[in-house]
Every structure is written in C-alpha cells, then in structure tokens.
C-alpha cells in the first residue's frame, strides 16, 4: 500500500450493512452467521450455531464513584475497569497524591503501591458477575479502602507480600476506544476489544472481520499469567457461557452535574492505570487534555512486581530514589493510547 491508495473493505461493508438492516440478526444469524460457521469448519474453530443463537449483549449498570467533586461514570463487571478505577482514585485521594510533584519519585512510588494492591484485588475478586458474586460495593467502600491503602508507607511492599484485601464474602469463594460528544452535549465513551493484535488472526471469509482471542482474558489456572502478565483465580476461571474479565474502562466524568470529561484507551492491563493517571493529570495537575494524554504514564499491576514505565518518564535521580525504596522497572515504548475529550467552560 502506498500513501493516497484507497482501501475498500467490501466484505466488512456488507457485514455492517446486514447489521444495520437486521440489527442483532445481521450478525448472529443469516449470512454473517453462516460465514462465521463456515470459517469455524474450515479453520477448525469451536463456535457453533447454538453459541451464536444463544449469545446476546447485556445491559449493565455503570459503576459510579466520585473524585474531588467529579462524578466518575465507568464500566462495571465483566470489566474490572470501573471498580479498579474507583479504587485507584479513592487511594489517590486518601494518600493525597496531588501534594507531590507530578512524576516525582514519591508520586510514582505511591501510585505504584496503590496500583499493585488494586490489581491484587482484581486477580481475586473480579470476573463475570453472572457467574461469580463480585463484591462490588465492598471493593469500593471507603472503610475497606482506608484499610487497604493504610499499609502504604515510604517503602515499597514486595508483591509477594501483597494479597487481595480482606472482604467478608457472603459466599465462598485489539482494543479500540473512542470518545464522542455531540453538539447537544450527549456523550459516549466506547471501548471494544478483540484482545491481541489481529485477535485470533482469523478473518471470517467473506465477512471481513477478525475473530478475537478473548479466551486469554480468562485466567487459565491460578497464578498463571495471561498475555498481559495478569494472574487470576476462580473468579475469572473458564466456564461455559461465562464472559471473561476485562480491563476496559470507558469513562464519563461529570463536574457539578455537567459533562466534564470523556475518556478511555486500549492497552490491556494498562488501560485502567492510564485512565487513572489521565484523570489525575487533569484534575490535580491542571493539565489540558492533550498534555494529560501526552504525559508519560507508568503502571504497576501487582504481578509482575515491577513498575512498567514509558521511556524517558523519570529523571535518573528519581529512578535511583525509587530503586532505593525497592522498586524495579521495566521500560516500554508507550502505555495506553488515550482518546479523550475535556469540556471547557
């Protein structure tokens, strides 16, 4: 392909037209379904006609929380995004992270300590709520979180000493984001994922779309990391008809009951922390939207026990200070790809 070439995706266009005309049936039955099933037979896949017929999307309640007078509206289970984001923001508020210089060693240290605890909870308590009783209220309650983050001090806690928080359970035990605001002030925040690059790398012949490799978002066995290094347990184990745990965090923020920000990003496990840090950048560090997006991000997800950091985020001095606290680093070219809108007064 050269610059100015025109790419016409006829197959995908036809599929989208069928969805437009026949709504759900344009995908889960009729020609598109036949093409998917043919792909399954030709490619040795396991999706059956029954699977397609029995699948339907489910309307879920958004997870709502508050950060310094801002109403944070985000995605509930089966994504971990909204709950984790609320935990992170409450942690940021409790530990008053806005008192520290942006990306100073103390700031990175505190956020990483908060993040690793939140991801430890994610590994144990989050999964498809139709199959696993997610203790949603408990996880974002102030009492629970003040205990959870109360152990954070100026020293790094090794991840093997961080377990999920103590919750009294009643029972035992390629991503795309877009944010849109129209002229009337209606806002949508949408994240959709086929998981890895090109998903399962299978295109449904004649239908023009890729099949995902979302099975990797389940935890295949306790302690065994997925492609994002995330570990999990029973809550997110594989079961028929269960939906896998996600990190997607499409989020809408209101301030004084008015639309303030619309945001989200791809990035696997780093989605939640990218959204978290972008919110802090705007609300606490008064950055404009572009600056908050461009600002380098870092990420701690409990396991592996390291801060994943974008290149050139921190000065060598800050890296040394954090190493003295016991932190280790893994460098990455970029974390997340935020797509956001900030409403100016």
CB of 224 to ligand DON, least distance (A): 17
| Joined tokens for residue 320 | 């040394």
Q: How far is the CB of 311 from ligand DON (least distance, A)?
A: 18
Which residues are CB-contacts of 335 (< 8 A; sequence separation ≥ 6)?
267, 270, 273, 274, 296, 297, 298, 299, 308, 309, 310
Catalytic residue among 15, 124, 175, 273: 175
Minimum distance from CB of 35 to ligand DON (Å)?
Answer: 23
Give the helix ranges, DSSP H, for the chain: 10-22, 25-28, 30-43, 49-54, 81-94, 105-125, 136-139, 142-149, 270-283, 289-294, 316-324
Does residue 309 sit in helix, strand or coil? strand
- Smallest gap from Cβ 235 to ligand DON, in A, equals 15
Interacting residues toward ligand DON by CB under 6 A? 174-175, 193, 195, 217, 246-248, 266-268, 271
Interatomic CA distance for residues 156 and 246, integer angstroms = 27
Longest CA span, the chain: 62
Q: How far is the CB of 121 from ligand DON (least distance, A)?
A: 16
300 versus 327: smaller Cβ distance to ligand DON: 300
Nearer to ligand DON, 127 or 268 (CB): 268
The Cα–Cα gap between 34 and 40 comes to 10
Closer of 105 and 273 to ligand DON (Cβ): 273
DSSP secondary structure string for all residues of 90-114: HHHHHTTGGGSPTT-HHHHHHHHHH
- Closest residue by Cα to residue 252 from 100, 94, 81: 81
Nearer to ligand DON, 217 or 305 (CB): 217
Residue among 103 and 193 whose Cβ is closer to ligand DON = 193
Does 328 participate in catalysis according to the annotation?
no
Distance CA 95, CA 93 (A): 6
Q: Which residues are part of the catalytic machinery?
A: 175
């Amino acid at each position: 392909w050269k610059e100015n070439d025109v790419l016409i995706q006829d197959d995908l266009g036809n599929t989208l037209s069928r969805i437009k005309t026949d709504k759900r049936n344009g995908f889960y039955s009729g020609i598109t379904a036949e093409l998917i099933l043919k792909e399954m037979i030709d490619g040795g896949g396991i999706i059956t006609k029954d699977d397609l017929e029995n699948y339907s999307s489910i309307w879920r309640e958004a997870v709502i929380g508050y950060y310094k007078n801002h109403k944070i509206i985000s995605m509930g289970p089966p994504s971990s995004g909204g709950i984790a984001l609320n935990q992170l923001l409450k942690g940021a508020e409790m530990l008053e992270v806005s008192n520290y210089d942006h990306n100073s060693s103390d700031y990175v240290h505190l956020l990483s300590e908060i993040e690793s605890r939140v991801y430890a909870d994610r590994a144990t308590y989050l999964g498809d709520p139709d199959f696993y009783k997610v203790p949603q209220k408990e996880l974002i309650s102030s009492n629970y979180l003040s205990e959870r983050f109360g152990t954070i001090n100026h020293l790094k806690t090794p991840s093997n000493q961080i377990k999920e928080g103590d919750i009294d359970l009643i029972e035992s035990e390629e991503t795309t984001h877009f944010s849109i605001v129209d002229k009337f002030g209606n806002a949508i925040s949408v994240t959709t994922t086929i998981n890895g690059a090109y998903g399962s790398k299978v295109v449904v012949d004649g239908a023009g779309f890729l099949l995902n490799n979302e099975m990797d978002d389940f935890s295949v066995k306790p302690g065994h990391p997925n492609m994002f290094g995330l570990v999990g347990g029973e809550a997110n184990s594989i079961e028929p008809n269960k939906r896998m745990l996600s990190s997607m965090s499409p989020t809408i923020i209101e301030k004084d009951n008015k639309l303030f920000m619309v945001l989200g990003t791809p990035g696997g496990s780093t989605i939640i922390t990218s959204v978290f840090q972008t919110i802090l950048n705007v609300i606490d560090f008064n950055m404009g939207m572009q600056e908050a997006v461009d600002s380098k991000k870092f990420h701690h997800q409990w396991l592996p026990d390291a801060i994943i950091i974008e290149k050139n985020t921190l000065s060598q001095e800050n890296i040394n200070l954090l190493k003295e606290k016991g932190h280790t680093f893994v460098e990455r070219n970029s974390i997340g790809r935020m797509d956001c809108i900030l409403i100016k007064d």
